[in-house]
Chain A
Amino acid sequence: MLEVVNLVKHYGKIRAVDGISFTVKPGEVFGFLGPNGAGKTTTIKVCTGLLKPTNGQVRVAGFDIASETVEAKRNLGYVPDNPFMYTKLTAREFLQFVGAVYLGKGHAGIDGRIDEVLAMVGLAERADELIESYSFGMKRKSTLCAAILHRPRVLLLDEPTAGLDALSARQAKDAFGQLARSGSAILLTTHIMEIAERLCDRVGIINNGKLIAVGTLDELKHQASAPGSTLEDVFLSLTETADDNARRDQT
């Protein structure tokens, strides 16, 4: 599971994340929504160990990301919004490197697992071509394969379906669902409300570094006093309310 406890992250005087706490249980898909600049990417970067928290704690599968970094990352899969690819490697070579890092060189069954994830996203036929010859969607699928190759217990997805066509997006969503059913905890950020509505068991909404709402879709609708409305309506209502409250506090 993923536990974020009272996380604070400052950049100088700017409080990018201001005391947020939430938990993503095994088998759950947790949607992390917020407007631009709300603190989503900063939160994710702290969860992946790229940034050190100013205060608070992040535990990945029971390991503290700050003090037990390698063990925590070994249980983590991460798909960034702007993924980096080694364009001078083939997808197979890239996954072999990733497999060696996560599972150890010469791990039994790694080749079979590579074939399995490549088939899952429809890349099996072009696995031995250089990544530089891939389209954007294919590169994204390669990144997804790398993130799920080692069957992580926690999976962080930052805009995972951006740039994918409908079939690829469906394949990706099926892969996420399969991982969740096998017990992985999935944290997903997206600007596409339909994906969050369809995939996520619970949703957390962050604004100006604070977590302003957490719960299932029905709970959020009740909180926003907007039963029957869409997640988009709930999101806009809650973020506007939070902005109004923040302006009132400042004055």
Chain B
Amino acid sequence: MSLLWFVLGQLAEIESMGSSKKIITKEEWEKKLNDVKIRKEDMNKLVMNFLVTEGYVDAAEKFRKESGTEPDIDLATITDRMAVKKAVQCGNVEDAIEKVNDLNPEILDTNPQLFFHLQQQRLIELIRNGKVAEALEFAQEELAPRGEENDILQQSFLEELERTVSLLAFEDVNNCPVAELLDISQRLKTASEVNAAILTSQSHEKEILLRMLVDTYYIVCRYALEVQHILECSLMMTGKQIPSSQVC
């Protein structure tokens, strides 16, 4: 997630702080505002960071020309990263995994949690497409061993695996307790996790900050999309159609 998001979050937090204990006149406040020095250069960098993190390659290129701001990441790498993100967002997880490995095979090696989530997404897509036998085979042969490999994350992996497989147990998948796994927000969550991992592997200094910022993405994205989902559901005529298939 971009630095702009971080900035907005800070502002929202202050706004939510409630009553203030100090009274400041409008003139005093105007003066304080005027005393703040914001450099145009810094604002341009913030905008560039947003464009780059969100993956707007063409816009970033144009912005570089129009404003003279240099991106802190090589723009050529954005298209690759966006291809991976898009693949996950559309449910083509195998394609995404292949692309990630082409970019940098170390990413998945050093990121067991990410790899698990990608495999989990693959399982979800198999279930979504009604390929029950394949799904079970995949779960048993590919996913369960992952859970056993990694001690620290084992517990949460196996729990997640069980949740995912339980989708098969329900007739009405849209209304079952784990229905959210089929929702597009799950894909987006995985997509942004991949996005962050690639970004981290490509940039050097800003790792911690970006990771920090991406942590917020899950929660905020989910909230934003839950609202959107509720709106979409209320507009849909039938309850059987799964929303995510419409988007890609």
Do chains A and B interact in one complex? Answer: no
